[in-house]
Amino acid sequence: MEEKISRLRDEALRAVADSRNLAALDEARVKYTGKKSGLQELLKSLGAAAPEERPKLGALVNEAKQAIEQALGDRKAVLRQTEQDQKIAAEKLDITLPGKGIKRGRLHPLTQVMDEAKAIFGRLGFEIAEGPEAETEYYNFDGLNIPPHHPSRDMWATFFIKDDVLLRTHTSPVQIRVMEKRKPPLAIIAPGRVYRRDSDATHSPVFQQLEGFLVNENVTFGDLKGTLTEFLRQMFGKEKNVRFRPSFFPFTEPSAEVDVECVICSGKGCRLCKGTGWLEILGAGMIDPNVFKAVGYDAEKYSGFAFGMGIDRIAMLKYGIDDIRLLYENDLRFLEQF
């Protein structure tokens, strides 16, 4: 009996020491200390032993059980630590590896120039108004002193949607819409997209204009020139050469256009400026009395100036862009430069 206890104990201790992982150790625990284990059987059979032998044998079985349980506990602690170390090693992060770059978005150059133009006129006291891009013939033409069948309509190659509805060819219709609703004094800018059947290095079928107009008593051409000169100085700096040149628009009299020295050839003449050395950026003039008549203003009492500038052209001049179409191709290699 004593020998049997000692054998069982040695066998159990060896099995515990040989367990390679927690699952194997648990198997050993069930096998050597569970209800159906050899030790348990021995305890049960003690009744059959001689009475004087019983206390000694009972003590031996208990001692063997304690030794096995102690070994199980110690081995469990070791295996648990080993498994934890292996897990940590497997999950280790290399914090020296380069991270994933975060791409920064940026504003489109046209948005940047438009925002700058709005800010300049905001500081000069102009407020912002807006009008629809799908416009009626009346607001785009008739109200602006451009009657049907008049040859001056040819100045704007128009996309018609249906008989009376077109894609506005300029932001000037907003003049009429605002003046119909409000009385002078007015100082308004109207930014927005406009459309024409045009396409070359300086003409795009869709482009951005910024309209501006000011109506009050005693407004003069000097006020127009002063306002635009201040705008140009803030937008381009003092160094850039600009010129005012007489022109014609049905809705202004007298009329002018403003050119800025070509950024590509510095005025020498190139493909972009068609050899002139200048790029036209805006049309302007004193509001025609016929326009005041159309909106019900007293043309004897009020006078005003108006202008309409091409934001795309200003962006080209500011950033040295030699083809307007680049602004609409959404090529990131181009856009990421701004």
Positions in the binding site for ligand FA5 (CB under 6 A): 170, 172, 196, 198, 203-204, 207, 209, 211, 249, 252, 280-285, 306-310, 312-313, 324
Residue whose CB is less far from ligand FA5, 19 or 158? 158
Residue 37 or 158: the one with the smaller Cβ distance to ligand FA5 is 158
**Rounded Cα–Cα distance for residues 58 and 142 (Å):** 118
Instruction: Give the integer Cα–Cα distance in Å for 312 and 310.
Output: 5
In whole angstroms, the minimum distance from the beta carbon of 269 to ligand FA5 comes to 19
> 25 or 321, CB closer to ligand FA5?
321
- Give the C-alpha separation, 174 to 130, whole Å: 7
65 or 170, CB closer to ligand FA5? 170
Instruction: Report in angstroms how near the CB of residue 206 gets to ligand FA5 at its nearest.
Output: 8
CB atoms within 10 A of CB 4: 15
Q: How far is the CB of 211 from ligand FA5 (least distance, A)?
A: 6
Q: Which is nearer to ligand FA5, 28 or 309 (CB)?
A: 309
> For residue 204, what are its two tokens?
């795009």
Report which residue's Cβ sits closest to ligand FA5: 310
Q: Could you tell me the smallest distance in angstroms from the CB atom of residue 275 to ligand FA5?
A: 18
Q: At what angle do helices 2-18 and 22-33 cross, to 10 degrees?
A: 170
Three-class secondary structure of residue 231 per DSSP? helix
Residue type for position 106 = R
CB of 336 to ligand FA5, least distance (A): 23
Nearer to ligand FA5, 67 or 264 (CB): 264
Matching residue, tokens 């497997």: 90
What's the closest the beta carbon of residue 330 comes to ligand FA5, in angstroms? 17
Q: What minimum distance in Å lies between the beta carbon of 172 and ligand FA5?
A: 4
Say which residues have a Cβ less than 8 Å from residue 175's Cβ, sequence separation at least 6: 144, 188, 190, 211, 213, 251, 287, 291, 306
**Distant-in-sequence, close-in-space partners of 4: CB < 8 Å, separation ≥ 6:** 42
Smallest gap from Cβ 217 to ligand FA5, in A, equals 20
- CA–CA separation, 62 vs 226, rounded Å? 110
Kindly provide the b/e burial profile for residues 218-227, where b requires at least 16 CB atoms within 10 angstroms of the residue's own CB: ebeeebbeeb
CB hemisphere CA count around 159 (13 angstroms): 15
Residue with tokens 């290095």: 201
Residue closer to ligand FA5, measured from CB, 32 or 121: 121
Nearest residue to 40 (alpha-carbon basis) of 51, 30, 48? 30
Distance between CA atoms of 314 and 311, rounded to whole angstroms? 5
Nearer to ligand FA5, 109 or 308 (CB): 308
- Looking at beta carbons only, is 19 or 208 nearer to ligand FA5? 208
Q: Which helix (H) or strand (E) holds 38?
A: helix 38-45
Q: How far is the CB of 152 from ligand FA5 (least distance, A)?
A: 11
